Amino acid sequence: MPTDRYSAYLEASILTAEPVELVRILYRGALDAVGDARMCLAAGDIPGRSKAVTKADGIIRELTLSLMPTSAPALARSLRELYDYIGRRLLAAHAEQSDAPLAEVADLLATLAEAWERVELPETSERAQMVAAEA
CA distances from 32 to 28, 56, 83, 84, 125 (A): 6, 8, 17, 19, 34
pTM of the model: 0.80
Taking alpha carbons only, the member of 56, 59, 37 closest to residue 48 is 37
Q: Determine the residue type at 64.
A: T
Neighbouring residues of 81: CB distance < 8 A, sequence distance ≥ 6? none
* 10 against 118, higher pLDDT: 118
User: Could you read off the pLDDT of 65-97 as tens digits, one per residue?
Assistant: 999 888 889 999 999 999 999 999 999 999 999
| Alpha helices, H only, 3-98 | 5-16, 19-43, 46-65, 73-96
Domain that holds residue 52: 5-134
Residues 42 and 6: their CA atoms lie apart, in Å, by 28
Angle subtended at Cα 107 by Cα 23 and Cα 17, rounded to the nearest 5 degrees: 15
- Split into its structural domains, the chain has a count of 1
The answer on pLDDT for 125 being more than 50 is no
Query: What is the domain-level CATH number for residue 23?
Result: 1.20.120.340
User: Is the separation of the CB atoms in 99 and 41 below 8 Å?
Assistant: yes
> What band does 18 get if pLDDT is binned at 50, 70 and 90?
confident
Q: What is the pLDDT of residue 128?
A: 52
Angle, in degrees to the nearest 10, between helices 19-43 and 5-16: 140
Q: What is the mean pLDDT of residues 24-41?
A: 97
